[in-house]
Structure 1
Amino acid sequence: MNFRIALYQPDIPGNTGTILRMAACLGIGVDVIEPAGFDISDRALRRAGMDYLEQAALTRHLDWAHFEEWRKNENRRLVLFSTRAAEPYTRFAFKPGDILLFGRESAGVPDHVHERADARLLIPMVESARSLNIALSAAMAAGEW
């Protein structure tokens, strides 16, 4: 797979561990943009990722500025999944090298991050639904490849 999943300041270790496990199984790189709402080496993260954490291609970025500097050097397009987006992810033309960005479970991403995205995508849901679990959202996005 020639895309990456990025997590902006994740809050829940179990979700991050699940994403790392999925990514290890599918050969997808994962970027964690810190600070996270938990210690990346937390036992709960390891429990969710199980023995796959050793196989995961995890890159930690000190903060948003460091991630952006790395991304620009890599010349990769940033594709944000957001409940504030209008374009359904199933209608989007993904390209090799894309970074699929998912925000904090508690708050999404701030406006300055939202504005930096090259594309903003929505997972359509029924009107009364607030959001999907971030690990499930990342798996749905990975399935488009």
Structure 2
Amino acid sequence: MNHIVLIHPAIPQNTGNIMRTCVATNTHLHIIKPMGFSLDDKHMKRAGLDYIKDLKLTIYEDWEDFESKNPGHYHFYTRYSNQTYSEANYTEEGDHYLLFGHEHDGIPHDILRAHLEECVRIPMYADSRSLNLSNTVAIGIYECLRQQDFPDLVRHEVQKGEHFLTEESETKRY
């Protein structure tokens, strides 16, 4: 199973968008406190839309609580790595945890130092400081799923029908 882990998230809209991505990819979301908002925040709920009711979510008091309960393969997304996210192996047997840090400070450095071999980065232009957290999560989980051949994900349109664009119909409105 795949997991997204947010360490000390600060911006409710990012977390709401990530919740939506987790539901769409059948990914369990873990949040490690402290958080910079309440889960009842209207901006987070708006970004998460009606997906939140289907979310698999676990909240932890601190890093030690999370780490002690979740053995598996860790992938720490940080700018402080020489290995790109696409070079990491997400196909090994067992759970895969993609970890992302606070929007302003990233993952605490003491955690990164203890897991240097498990750190990955998303390449970007040298003058860029960072990517948006919810975009970074989407890039990471879809690479993980791509390497796993998109397990349990639908590969054709289901809402309007598999052949929606190729079937001719006078009743369709575009």
Identify whether the pair has TM-score above 0.5, normalized to the shorter chain: yes
Q: Deviations over 1:10-54 (max 9, x none)?
A: 010000000000111111000000110111221111111011010
**Alpha-carbon distance between aligned partners in 1 of 2:38 and 2:136, rounded to the nearest angstrom:** 23
Alignment partner of 1:108: what SS?
coil
Output aligned runs, 1:63-82, within 5 Å.
63-71=62-70, 75-82=71-78
Gaps of 5+ in 1: none
Identity of aligned residues (%): 30
Corresponding residue for 1:128?
Answer: 127
Q: Residue type of the partner of 1:82?
A: T
Output aligned runs, 1:1-145, within 5 Å.
2-71=1-70, 75-94=71-90, 95=92, 96-117=94-115, 119-144=118-143, 145=145
**Aligned-pair CA distance for 1:115:** 2.4
**Alpha-carbon distance between aligned partners in 1 of 2:8 and 2:34, rounded to the nearest angstrom:** 5
**Aligned-pair CA distance for 1:79:** 0.9
Q: Which has the larger radius of gyration?
A: 2
- Per residue, is there more strand in 1 or in 2? 1
By relative contact order (CA 8 Å, sep 6+), the higher-ranking structure is 1
**Alpha-carbon distance between aligned partners in 2 of 1:5 and 1:85, rounded to the nearest angstrom:** 19
Alignment partner of 2:79: what SS?
coil
**Alpha-carbon distance between aligned partners in 2 of 1:83 and 1:57, rounded to the nearest angstrom:** 28
Q: Deviations over 1:62-121 (max 9, x none)?
A: 1112111112xxx21221000111101111111341100000001001122112335000
Q: Residue type of the partner of 2:74?
A: L
**Alpha-carbon distance between aligned partners in 1 of 2:29 and 2:114, rounded to the nearest angstrom:** 19
How high is the TM-score relative to the length of structure 2? 0.78
Alignment partner of 2:139: what SS?
helix
**Alpha-carbon distance between aligned partners in 2 of 1:33 and 1:66, rounded to the nearest angstrom:** 9
- Per residue, is there more helix in 1 or in 2? 1
Moved over 2 A (4+): 115-118
How high is the TM-score relative to the length of structure 1? 0.92
